[in-house]
């Protein structure tokens, strides 16, 4: 496959600096509300904080890919004396938990790095993190030429089909399309 040079966007997370304030969750859900800023509900955020104040654990995690099946990962990690579950680090919208699912519809959520035209200087969660636990990084890399990416609609439809079956989704769309 052909290689191309491309700007890769990423966010570096310094969990030691996170204080669990949830400002990132609030701004992400509010930015993605329709109309924009019309509501804020961290359950709709594409970044979530794994939060356990008694254990001094505040771990920001970004929503990644949707997956049909849960994995078998049940390992425990002890880092700086704090115990984490393997799931704590996972970015997937997966059937075994409510994380990264739109609460009303159950449709998967995925971080879009706040894609916008014109481009933002930095993603909203990074801008709002006053503790500087999140840092936006752009770097040029040689990567394989882009494969067509699934858009939100395809990902959402795929998750509905996984849950309800193709025929029920088709019947529902046909019913809704009637004038
Ligand atoms: S805004 Fe920053 S400090 Fe606050 S919860 Fe999010 S990552 Fe942590
Ligand atoms: S980069 Fe944007 S879409 Fe992704 S979690 Fe942060 S605010 Fe949400």
Question: What digits encode the pLDDT tens for the residues 71-123?
Answer: 998 999 999 999 999 999 999 999 999 999 999 999 999 999 999 999 999 99
Q: For residue range 145-166, what is the model confidence (pLDDT) as tens digits?
A: 766 666 667 777 877 887 788 8
Mean pLDDT across the chain:
91
* Beta strands at 82-85 and 134-144: parallel, antiparallel or unpaired: unpaired
Pocket of ligand 1 (CB under 6 A): 18-24, 49, 58, 60, 128-129, 131, 133-134
| C-beta of residue 133 within 8 angstroms of C-beta of residue 17 | yes
In this predicted structure, what is the pLDDT of residue 81?
Answer: 94
Ligand 2 in reach of 116 Cβ (< 6 A): no
Which atom of ligand 1 is found nearest the CA of 125? 1
Residue-level pLDDT at 156: 76
82 three-state secondary structure = strand
- Among candidates 102, 103, 74, which has minimal Cα distance to 89? 74
> Omega into 118 within 30° of 0, i.e. cis?
yes
Is-above-0.85 flag for pTM? no
Most confident of 12-16, 155-159, 166-170: 12-16
Which pLDDT does position 172 carry in this prediction? 81
Residue whose structure tokens are 């409510």: 98
Question: Which positions ≥6 away from 29 have C-beta within 8 Å?
Answer: 39, 40, 41, 42, 43, 44, 45
Mean pLDDT over 117-143 rounds to 95
Q: Running DSSP on this structure, what letter comes out for residue 108?
A: B
On the CB side of 50, CA atoms within 13 Å amount to: 20
What is the reported pLDDT for 45?
97
60 lines ligand 2 (CB under 6 A): no
């Amino acid at each position: 496959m052909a290689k191309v040079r491309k700007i890769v966007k990423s966010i570096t997370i310094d969990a030691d600096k996170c204080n669990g304030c949830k400002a990132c969750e609030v701004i992400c859900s509010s930015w993605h509300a329709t109309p924009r800023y019309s509501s804020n509900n961290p359950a709709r955020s594409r970044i979530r904080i794994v939060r356990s104040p008694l254990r001094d654990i505040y771990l920001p995690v970004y929503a990644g890919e949707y997956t049909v099946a849960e994995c078998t990962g049940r390992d425990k990690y002890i880092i700086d004396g704090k115990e984490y579950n393997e799931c704590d680090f996972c970015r997937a919208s997966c059937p075994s938990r409510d994380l990264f699912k739109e609460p009303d519809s159950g449709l998967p959520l995925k971080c879009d790095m706040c894609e916008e035209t014109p481009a933002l200087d930095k993603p909203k969660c990074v801008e709002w993190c006053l503790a500087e636990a999140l840092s936006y990084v752009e770097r040029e890399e040689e990567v394989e030429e882009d494969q067509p990416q699934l858009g939100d609609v395809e990902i959402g439809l795929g998750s509905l089909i996984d849950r309800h079956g193709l025929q029920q989704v088709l019947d529902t769309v046909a019913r809704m399309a009637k004038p």
